Structure 1
Amino acid sequence: MKRIIEHTEDGSATLFVPELNEHYHSVKGARTESQHIFINMGLKASTAPQPRILEIGFGTGLNALLTLEVAGQEKRRVHYTGIEFYPLSWEEVDALKYSDNPLFQRLHTAPWEEDVEVSSFFTLRKRKGDANIIAESERALDLVYFDAFAPEKQPEMWSEQLFRTLYVNMNTGGILTTYCAKGVVRRLLQAVGFRVERLPGPPGGKREILRATKTEHKDLEISS
């Protein structure tokens, strides 16, 4: 898959995929978007003392980097699983110039399918493959960063079945955040049991984002 580096309005870079006519982040600001949606509205809203986080769409590792930074600042132990079907090479990621922190390099050079202690407060497991399949084995989740490509570009990633799997595998009080605030996505999240909020989007970016919370236990089964 061909990827082209482009700079966004807050000075941080992103990748553009001509084949999909899609960017990895908002052109209004890659770092600004990730910080707002996944850190401010997700991680900082979670009361889990040692959150288990699942990211759908590991991509450039920007969400993981920001989470790593917060984990160290707050001395809050995080176990972070990132699922990616099309991994980037370190050379591609390095060209984005997100961070000179050597721990960021470790996020991308860490072996796949292994728990790697990147820092005292951040353990990473990268998993390569189809999120619809891998998510079934990810249990006791406190946070889900849902950062797949847009529904019209990757419809198989925005299915009721996947949201149901995530709901079943989340702890009560678990939070899912996503940049996509489309009505169809909101209704799918509600249909599997989440309480869904529309929240203000990042500065200069989308008008609204979604945060879904598992407020109580429901005995749902993952249908095959």
Structure 2
Amino acid sequence: MSDAIFTLDAEVRTDLGKGASRRLRHTGKVPAIIYGAGKEPVALTLEHNKVIQAQEFEAFYSHVLTINIDGKPVEALVKDMQRHPFKPKVTHIDFQRIVAGEKLHTNVPVHFINEDACKGIKLEGGHAEHHVNDIEVTCLPKDLPEFIEVDLAEVALGQTLHLSDITLPSGVESVELSKGEDHDLAVVTVKAAKGGAAESDDEADAEGTED
């Protein structure tokens, strides 16, 4: 994937307010703000076309981006993105500045792999029920993964994988697990398919006892 996807050019904007933001959008611009790292928030303007291209990649939301603000590079994460309710338009972006030696908190998407080879699905007729789409983590910017893999190959029917069962990349910690065992959230469960063989047998037994 090209590093250009993770680099955006921005300009500082001084014309603030809803009316100003509306005018910017009409000229193909996206209003944004960048904050954090102990510095004052700065209002920005970005090219809408470049943002639309970049946001199509999942990694855009969990990757450390380079925002060139009036030519000066600043590392940041996307913290929030607002969209038009029905048009393919981004209406506002919040960025958080990143400091190289300081840990950050963010959500990283989960990729469920080997679902088609899963023991509980392929051999036992179950299906995977995903409980989360991302995991909140803390790590240094250099250790931030684009995604976290959850391997379903050996998961049996009726089994649930929790956060404690997931192998996180080196240097990455689960925010929820750091709060204690009570926060060991379920990630995925392989459940019996509705109307499966087990349910059919139960229904047949019930019908047989009605006579």
Return the TM-score normalized by structure 1.
0.22
Structure having the higher Rg = 2
Per chain length, whose mean CA-contact separation is higher, i.e. which structure has more relative contact order (CA < 8 Å, sep 6+)?
Answer: 1
By percentage of residues, which structure has more helix?
A: 1
By percentage of residues, which structure has more strand?
A: 2
Return the TM-score normalized by structure 2.
0.23
